[in-house]
Amino acid sequence: MKVTVAIPTLNRPGDMAAFMPTLAHQTVLPDEFIVVDAGDPGDLESEMEDHLGDTGIELKYRRSDKGLCIQRNVALDHATGDIIFFFDDDVELEPEYIERVLECFAMETTPPVGCVQGTLIDPPATIDGWKSKVYRSFGLTHWTSDQDPALYTAGGVRFLTEPKNIVAVPVAQGCRMAFRREVFDSERFVQFLPGYCQNEDVDMTFRVGRNWTILQTPHAKLLHKESPVSRIQYPAQLGQMIFAQHYFFRRYREKTPSNVARFAWAHSGLMALAIGRAVVTSQPEVFGGIKEGYKRCVKDLVST
């Protein structure tokens, strides 16, 4: 199978430089590497060419408007692989990552495997303890090592940190997802928020999961450093989280009384955690993020 690796990037040349050796030393090399750059003009293209050296990997460097989904769709417009890997620009791969993911695409499942994600070497520290319990009780995104993965009513995800075997999961995470090319015959990434787009990976892979099997393998591992460069601050992120929950629920969930109650419960938990953070950290900007999030929700409801 022909393999494409694609990365959207924004002003992170140092992170890209750290990623490149881990790509060039894969046990199975990709046929093409697509970089979609929305950052400041610079020497990234020539630097990527230097890193690839004589690996035989074809570099396709493209400029784009800013936006994760916009940049991923630009990559899709130029990708020719049978399997398309998407990574964030601040990850580093273990040497067998691509090889072990490709093995999953050869598995026989019903429906067929359409998406595979690897496993993080460094999952967030909030796997256990009170914070994880609070997030879990409200159906908000959290991480677990000992429970089944899950997708909650408002789009919150219970990500699995230490699967012992290859397992089916409801959605995949944007920093580590690979797709069969046929998936994109009917699906594309949706940029429903400007710039950085919260939960765009959940939106995309939820749609994929309606027709394909999504797997997570413990045998393909990567480090996700979560670079601070170009990341939005918590108040703005909170506003996006509020709208992303609204968007997911409005678009995909049946509006039964029980689902509406779960959605409201998730929002109450998000608000309680946000207000608590604002008070403890003396960060009044958090309330601006809340206001902006609900403003977007109201505007969306009016427009539809």
Note whether 113 and 244 are same-domain residues.
no
Instruction: Indicate the SS3 state at residue 108.
Output: coil
Evaluate if residue 133 carries a pLDDT over 90: no
CATH number of the domain residue 87 falls in: 3.90.550.10
- Give the tens place of pLDDT for each residue, 173-193: 999 999 999 999 999 999 887
Lowest mean pLDDT among 132-136, 173-177, 220-224: 132-136
Query: Does residue 128 sit within a domain?
Result: no
The Cα 12–Cα 18 span in angstroms is 10
pTM as predicted = 0.94
Whether residues 173 and 278 share a domain: the answer is: no
Q: How many helices (H) and strands (E) does the chain have?
A: 9, 12
User: How far is Cα 18 from Cα 137, in angstroms, rounded to an integer?
Assistant: 38
For the chain, the domain total comes to 2
pLDDT in tens, 255-270: 999 999 999 999 999 9
Task: Name which of 186, 181, 197 is nearest 240 in CA terms.
Answer: 197
- Percent of the chain predicted with pLDDT > 90: 83
Residue 229 has pLDDT above 70, yes or no: no
- Written as six digits, the tokens of 51 are 């890193």
Task: Tell me which residue has tokens 């309606």.
Answer: 210
Three-state secondary structure along 192-259?
CCCCCCCCHHHHHHHHHHCCCEEEEEEEEEEEECCCCCCCCCHHHHHHHHHHHHHHHHHHHCCCCHHH
Mean pLDDT of 110-120: 98
* One domain for residues 99 and 198: yes
Q: Based on the domain organization, do 259 and 174 belong to the same domain?
A: no
Whether residues 185 and 213 fall in one domain: yes
Domain that holds residue 292: 234-303
C-alpha closest to that of 114 among 5, 214, 216: 214
281, part of any domain:
yes
Which of 224, 243, 261 lies at the terminal end of a domain, its last residue? Answer: 224
Same domain, 82 and 216: yes
285 in the same domain as 171: no
Rounded Cα distance between 212 and 210, Å, is 6
Confidence of residue 304 (pLDDT cuts 50, 70, 90): confident
Determine the pLDDT at residue 125: 64
Is residue 96's pLDDT more than 90? yes
| Residues 118 and 38: beta-carbon distance below 8 Å | no
In this predicted structure, the answer to whether residue 126 has a pLDDT above a threshold of 60 is no
Instruction: With beta carbons less than 8 A apart as the criterion, state whether 115 and 177 touch.
Output: yes
- Give per-residue pLDDT as tens, 152-169: 999 999 999 989 999 999
Q: What integer pLDDT is reported at residue 226 of this predicted model?
A: 78
Question: Nearest CA to 113 among 73, 151, 169, 67?
Answer: 169
Is the same domain home to 109 and 59?
yes
Residue 71 lies in a domain: yes
Final residue in a domain of this structure, among 199, 224, 249: 224
Asked which of 81-85, 127-131, 278-282 is least confident by mean pLDDT, the reply is 127-131
